Amino acid sequence: MNARAELSLLAAGVRRIAEWDAEDGLIGYPPARANGWPELVTACRLKAPEAFAAAAALGHASGEDAPTPEGQLDVAHAPAQDLSTAPDLAPPSETPSALAATRPTLPAVRSELGDCQRCKLATSGRTTIVFGEGDPGAELMFVGEGPGFFEDQTGRPFVGKAGELLEKMINAMSLTRAEVYICNVVKCRPPENRNPEPDEIIACRPFLHAQIRAIRPKVVVALGKFAAQVLLDSSEPVSRLRGRWFEYVPSQLAELDSAAVAPVRLMPTFHPAYLLRNPDDKKLCWADLKLVMGELGLPRSAL
């Protein structure tokens, strides 16, 4: 591929990737890697197929199909990728079988996750992977942001102060913690409890989608900004999303039997950690949870 086509691919691909990530609610980019060009080419194929095809055609039209220098990737002749599952691929390896299944089991998803090394959280001081816990056949699933210090130490989600509040919320819904399923968008603690970064979310997202498919809850409650934005492919703040019903259908299942992958009702609300800092908003969260209780046919308490 000639220099003109290569630059065209680079510019169009980076623009589309930025647009795609913005649509997904992700801002910022991870540090560059030594093999960044091949990764960018793969991203362009997955996220900007039209731009990639146009740039490749430009290279052929110029008649400059010279041999690719050793150590560089021949992007014009690289194997085609399956674009239908692009948003939920687990880079940089191939999609694991459990993640591609219409209904995997939770043990199979955990096995695929393994001793995960898919992003930098694996080497940033994590103690343990926090996969999730609860009833594998739960009708109600809570999805948070990521593990904190106590979760990292115990391997259990929501066991700190925010976890105590979440458990009170669950009990107020006439349920116990054992009757629901709880997990997070990312499975490893970000250093100093910082926000998850885009590459970390992308690496973990296929496992979250697989967990939801394995459990098939009637309702998912997205706790906070990151859970709501990742599950809804939205950049809206949770303050605008909360209190409204949405349907969650992973994009990679769009072509499968609709009866086998019925949409899941999704309710965004505030994260318990936010409520600890902003107790006046607890009444708004409770209003959201009462909508969930009505959807599930749970008795409403007097709280």
40 pLDDT above the threshold of 60? no
- 8 Å CB contact between 18 and 43: no
Number of neighbouring beta carbons within 10 Å of residue 34: 6
Let me know if residue 27 belongs to a domain.
yes
Q: Are residues 104 and 50 in the same domain?
A: no
Q: Are residues 148 and 265 in the same domain?
A: yes
Q: Are residues 192 and 245 in the same domain?
A: yes
Residue that terminates a domain, selected from 64, 86, 106: 64
DSSP secondary structure string, 216-245? Answer: --SEEEEESHHHHHHHHT--S-HHHHTTS-
Q: Are residues 127 and 258 in the same domain?
A: yes
| CATH code of the domain covering residue 122 | 3.40.470.10
> Whose structure tokens read 């194929």?
45
Cα distances from 126 to residues 117, 120, 186, 201, 228, in angstroms, run 11, 10, 12, 16, 24
Q: Are residues 121 and 51 in the same domain?
A: no
Q: What is the pLDDT of residue 146?
A: 97
Q: Are residues 104 and 252 in the same domain?
A: yes
Nearest to 103 by CA among 263, 220, 215: 215
pLDDT digits (tens, 9 = 90+) for 178-204: 999 999 999 999 999 999 999 999 999
Q: What is the pLDDT of residue 4?
A: 56
Q: Provide the domain limits for residue 135.
A: 97-296
Let me know if residue 211 belongs to a domain.
yes
Q: Are residues 165 and 241 in the same domain?
A: yes
Q: Are residues 192 and 291 in the same domain?
A: yes
Q: Are residues 56 and 136 in the same domain?
A: no
Let me know if residue 69 belongs to a domain.
no
pLDDT digits (tens, 9 = 90+) for 2-29: 555 555 555 555 555 555 444 444 444 4
Let me know if residue 58 belongs to a domain.
yes
The rounded distance, in Å, linking the Cα atoms of 203 and 216 is 22
Average pLDDT over residues 222-242: 96
Q: Are residues 127 and 34 in the same domain?
A: no
How many domains does the chain divide into? Answer: 2
Let me know if residue 81 belongs to a domain.
no
Q: Are residues 21 and 118 in the same domain?
A: no
DSSP secondary structure string, the chain? Answer: --HHHHHHHHHHHHHHHHHHHHHTT--S-PPP-TTHHHHHHHHHHHH-HHHHHHHHHHHHHTT--PPPPTTS--TTSSPPP-GGGGGG--TTSPPPHHHHSSS--HHHHHHHHSS--SSGGGGTT--S----EE-TT-SEEEEES---HHHHHHS-SS-SHHHHHHHHHHHHTT--GGGSEEEESSSSPPGGGPPPPHHHHHHHHHHHHHHHHHH--SEEEEESHHHHHHHHT--S-HHHHTTS-EEE--GGGTTS-TTTT--EEEEEE--HHHHHH-GGGHHHHHHHHHHHHHHHTPPPP--
Residue that terminates a domain, selected from 64, 85, 106: 64
Residue that terminates a domain, selected from 64, 89, 106: 64
Q: Are residues 118 and 53 in the same domain?
A: no
Let me know if residue 79 belongs to a domain.
no
* More confident position, 117 or 81: 117
Let me know if residue 75 belongs to a domain.
no
pLDDT digits (tens, 9 = 90+) for 59-91: 433 333 333 333 333 333 333 333 334 344 344
- 8 Å CB contact between 156 and 111: no
Let me know if residue 70 belongs to a domain.
no
